Structure 1
């Protein structure tokens, strides 16, 4: 068993253990492999092990990987901050965008999504614990954003994404509460199914609180290779 196989199996086991401890259904928690700064060869190897959903933060790096790995049926997620001048590529090349925190961004993604493509899956990024250094809308803004974005064509609004401060596990519970509150008001409750939270260092707490998608990079790929950026 090589290092990637061992890391992949270890992460899958950790997710399973967290689900059992939290009395969660394993099928309700998706693993998103965060592959930023890692080369296409690493993604290709991880793909052969059965991992097909990959998350990228840097647009140009991601576009290069999408080109070089186009022979694989990868589900591409953009999990970085979304800038207005980057929406066209995101709308055309990705299946998911997690970092939407303003209506203008959603509006541009909707307008630029090709009608021949499936609707673009969207998660609202919420600054759940008020960090000055983090992007994201405020929790109080979520309900209004959901109401407006739900009316846009070519998008499928799936839920929330949060990046709490390290060791601030209460934020996961706060995000779950907000997620459920919004679901009760949501125009398309069948679509509202994704709570993207939890990374390599805190996935156990995130799953216990209700995460449906954990974003794991370091535990799968090792330390970031900044020479790739």
Structure 2
């Protein structure tokens, strides 16, 4: 029990520190709002996520379908968001446990998720289009020029709701320039769809640039959870 108490204190400290940093960066950027914090819990045990729940966290993000599914089954009161790549053949599973999917990048995946929601007989699934800023779709994402077309496809699918765009800056890129350009793309798409859309961008390493560029959701793992457990 002592270990669980220690871990709870560690997580509480990580959360407090991360929230304070986000608020400070938002203030420095002249923002009147503070981005939503989505703790990334991949590779960490369900026990850690249960402790986050005790600390008032309701939503966490995962990268791998199988790991996320097992945790979601163990912790039905927590909302799990999928931020990693989704294979089309896994869409049926993802549609059952995911509270949202941040990595939709093909028509095929969107259609499969839409069908998965039907099969699961659940409510609408919120999704984000993942943008591949440099057009190298091997790492996931749709090239910027393909975003509008994919957005229209999602709009026409009855079980999906497009919430915004997600981006991870390519290595060696200028993160600020990537975030600013995808923020502009998000706003332009929002004008076309006649509703505000969110940008999901920013992790521990590039938090300041993402917040300055107007991200609505930041995804932080190590700052809250600490180093990945070994093994």
TM-score (norm 2): 0.90
Matched, 1:175 2:179: no
Distance 2:9 2:192 in 1: 47
Tell me the distance in 1 between the aligned counterparts of 2:204 and 2:145: 28
Residue 205 of structure 2 corresponds to residue 201 of structure 1: yes
| Cα distance in 2 for residues equivalent to 1:116 and 1:104 | 20
The Cα offsets for residues 53-109 of structure 1, whole Å up to 9 and x where unpaired, read as 111111111111011112x2x221001101111000111111101111001111111
Q: 1:123 to 1:132 in 2, by over 3 A?
A: closer
- Does 2:85 match 1:87? no
**Structure 2: any 5+ residue segments left out of the alignment?**
1-7
1:138-184 deviation per Cα after TM superposition (whole angstroms, max 9, x unaligned)? 00000111112101011111110100035522101011111111112
Which runs of structure 2 are paired with 1:1-229 in the superposition (5 Å)? Answer: 2-27=9-34, 29-70=35-76, 72=77, 74-114=78-118, 116-131=121-136, 134-166=139-171, 168-186=175-193, 189-190=194-195, 192-225=196-229, 227=231
**Which SS does the other structure have where 1:140 is aligned?**
helix
Query: Separation in 2 of the partners of 1:14 and 1:165?
Result: 24
Q: Tell me how large the CA RMSD over aligned residues is.
A: 1.7
Say whether the 8 Å CA contact 1:129–1:171 is kept in structure 2: no
Aligned residue pairs, count: 221
Q: 1:24, CA displacement in angstroms?
A: 1.8
TM-score, structure 1 normalization: 0.91
Contact 1:162–1:196 (CA<8 Å) still a contact in 2? yes
Q: What displacement does 1:132 show?
A: 6.4
Pair 61,112 (structure 1): closer, same or farther in 2 beyond 3 Å = same
As a proportion of its length, which structure holds more helix?
2
Q: CA deviation at 1:117?
A: 2.0
Q: Distance in 2 between matches of 1:181 and 1:205?
A: 20
Q: Which has the higher contact order (CA 8 A, sep 6+)?
A: 1
